[in-house]
Amino acid sequence: MIAALRSWFVRHPMVGDGLIAALLFPPTLGSTLALHHSGPQWPYVVWSVAYVLPLVIRRTHPQWAALALFPAHLVQLAVADLPSFANVTVPIVLHSVATRTAPRRARLWLLIAAAASVAAGIDWGMSRDFRPVMTSVGDAIAAFVVCAAAWFMGRLGAERRRTELALRRRAAGEERTRIAREMHDVVAHSLSVIVVQADGGAYLARLHGQDASTLETVAATARTALTETRRLVGVLRDGTGGPVDWEPEASLEGIPALVAATRETGLPVTYAERGDPQAHPPLGAGAELTGYRIVQEALTNVLRHAGPDATAEVTLTHRSDGLRIAVVNTGRRPSPDGRGRSTADGSGHGLIGMQERVAAYDGELVAGPRPDGFEVIATLPAEESRP
């Protein structure tokens, strides 16, 4: 019941803020009426309403609420010599401004609050007979401390909400991954059954001299669907929901340019391609993209985590059954603190991402330290060699 009520108020913020304004109106009216000496009372009632009414929109339109508070407080500076309960509306609205506006605008409102605190301190202090200057300074500092505390609490609340949103998105991504893997298990099992049944039916058809082309087409289509389903699970793994990259897919032909670009950063990189690319059947566009990404990630890791004088070697070896990719960082050992040219963490999923990419194409990945550095070796079989 309480959770449902709270959720309703979150969806209708002006209702809750209206209740807060209604609760603050009686003491605010009392503080303004205390200044009444003669004449009608309705101007003081309007003055009190001007204090609390902006609170109704403090969360939906925080900057408008802050602007709406100015008239009431300007009147206070003109006719009153002391602070009143009505001044509590300032830190309340300032908290909302700090929570719900951009950081630059929030800082602007903090500066405005500082200026208003100085003006209020001077007005209140100079009306005293005893040490007016010291009193003005003290009142200004006290007013600004209250405003600054409300502002900083608002900024902390904003940061906390951003963190919670990021965590919720991460949890949603992990849930998406779990669902995708479960879906893969169900669909993969069904497609495997289709492949087995279609292959068996095609075999029996050929055994009895009948046309098996339809069943062979079914089996081939199911195998393709099974392979694509397995790869799509890898795409769903990160759950970023980011924009689609419409740039041409990278391939093995782009590795020399990648090596050259890495070399321009100051890392000495050598590149060698051994064997004939025609020595094995085609790898396929997806496998070539995987090969490119492995080299890219490995070189990035060398830049970030190897020693300051590290070098790297990239070697592609074409074999009869597929392609072997080796990225080895040579030269001196990594620095004692484990940091190289950058203290940033590894990008993306790092070695785990490499392993998943290679596994999607039934390849193998070996990554580990060497006596003089680190090596990443990946083997990608040709399409015809994959099960």
Reported as a single tens digit per residue, the pLDDT across 354-384 is 888 888 888 999 998 888 888 999 999 987 6
Instruction: List the pLDDT tens digit at each of the 387 positions of the chain.
Output: 676 777 788 788 899 999 999 999 999 999 999 887 777 889 999 999 999 999 999 999 999 999 999 999 999 888 887 888 999 999 999 999 999 998 899 999 999 999 999 999 888 888 776 677 888 888 899 999 999 999 999 999 888 888 887 777 777 767 666 666 666 666 766 777 787 788 888 888 888 888 888 888 888 888 888 777 767 666 655 444 443 343 445 788 889 998 988 888 778 899 999 998 888 888 887 788 889 989 988 888 887 777 667 889 999 999 988 899 999 987 544 333 333 333 333 333 467 778 888 888 889 999 988 888 889 999 999 876 555
Q: Which residue has the tokens 């990259």?
A: 245
Is residue 159 in a domain? no
> Which domain, by its residues, includes 349?
252-385
The residue whose two tokens read 């009143």 is 84
* Residue at 356 is within a domain: yes
Are 262 and 303 contacting, i.e. CB atoms less than 8 angstroms apart?
yes
Which parts of the chain fold into alpha helices (H)?
2-11, 13-33, 42-52, 62-79, 89-100, 103-126, 132-207, 213-236, 255-264, 285-305, 350-360
340 belongs to a structural domain: yes
State residue 27's pLDDT score: 95
218 occurs within a structural domain: no
267 touches 312 (CB < 8 A): yes
Give which of 208, 234, 229, 295 is closest to 259, Cα–Cα: 295
The answer to whether residues 128 and 181 touch, using CB atoms and an 8 Å cutoff, is: no
Residue 334 three-state SS:
coil
Using the structure block, give the residue that is written with the tokens 């995987």.
290
121, 136 in Cβ contact below 8 A?
Answer: yes
Is 121 within a domain? no
pLDDT of 344 reads: 34
The CATH number assigned to the domain holding 333 equals: 3.30.565.10
Is residue 273 in some structural domain? Answer: yes
Q: What is the pLDDT of residue 249?
A: 56
How many distinct structural domains can be found in the chain? Answer: 1
How many other C-beta atoms can be found within 10 angstroms of the C-beta atom of residue 281? 14
Residues 6+ apart with CB under 8 A from 43: none
Q: Please give the Cα distance from 274 to 260 (Å, whole number).
A: 18
Residue appearing with tokens 């900024």: 155
What is 119-176 written as a DSSP string?
A: HHHHHHHHT-SS-HHHHHHHHHHHHHHHHHHHHHHHHHHHHHHHHHHHHHHHHHHHHH
Residue 361 lies in a domain: yes
pLDDT attached to residue 255: 92
Provide the pLDDT for residue 334. 39
> 243-282: per-residue pLDDT in tens?
334 344 578 888 999 898 888 877 889 999 999 888 888 8
Q: What is the pLDDT of residue 39?
A: 79
- Residue 349 buriedness (CB in 10 A; 0-12 / 13-18 / 19+): middle
By the 10 Å C-beta count (0-12 exposed, 13-18 middle, 19+ buried), 269 is classed as buried
293 found inside a domain: yes
pTM above 0.85, yes or no: no
